[in-house]
Amino acid sequence: MRQVKNHLYEQVARIGKALASPKRLELIELLCQGEKSVETLAAQTEMSVKLASAHLRELRLAQLVQTRKEGKYVMYQLAGPGVADLWVNLRSEAEERLVELQMALASLVEHKDGLEGLDRTAILKKARSGEVLVLDVRPADEFATAHLPHALSLPVGELKKRLAELPKDVPVVAYCRGPFCLLAKTAVELLRKKGYQAFHLADGVAEWRARGLPIER
């Protein structure tokens, strides 16, 4: 019986081993946004294709990601929505337990004062009525895969040249890939410098979905 129990725990530990790498966690967060090629993942994590492939292989061995071929490219995606939930829950637990992480996150989100007291359902209601503009500053392909309801896609790299598309009389709530993503922080800083009332929503699609809130595809 001991051998059986050891085997059971060993199988679960495979998941823990696969997650015990900062770069593999970052890869999972990126794949929460949608399917991506090895080359795209390598560029977004600032790794070589060889190193990214090695990390992805570990995730695949643990059945956390899966692949398909598209011409000469290998495309990666999460093995299921439970993997995204696992990432959100793991990160949330770490934030709850680790003071160092709390301090690091506090330094990222400087402009959320206008969201204090507003729960996510209230933000959704205000976005629906046009009282706030929810701005998705991720790349357009990630927006096309899934995004928050009533959100407008405006990748952060295009923000400067497309500012005229944004009304100045409506507060802007910018979001990206989740609490660790810096795209929304960059967008909010730029918008505030240009006279917009802008705020940073730490949630991304994975966080929104994990809480049972609606997602548009």
CA angle in degrees (0–180, nearest 5) for 16-20-23? 135
- Report the chain's C-alpha Rg in angstroms: 19
Task: Give CA–CA dist 162/92, Å, rounded.
Answer: 34
Q: Which of 30, 88, 172, 176 is catalytic?
A: 176
Instruction: State the Cα angle at 81 between 76 and 87, rounded to 5°.
Output: 85
Where would I find the beta strands (DSSP E) of the chain? Answer: 36-37, 65-70, 73-78, 133-136, 152-153, 172-175, 198-200
Residue among 71, 72, 76, 63 at smallest CA distance from 37: 76
Cβ–Cβ < 8 Å for 200, 109: yes
DSSP letters, 87-101, are HHHHHHHHHHH-HHH
Active site residue 32: no
CA atoms within 13 A on the CB side of 57: 6
How far is it, in rounded angstroms, from Cα 34 to Cα 146? 8
- Which residues form the catalytic set? 176
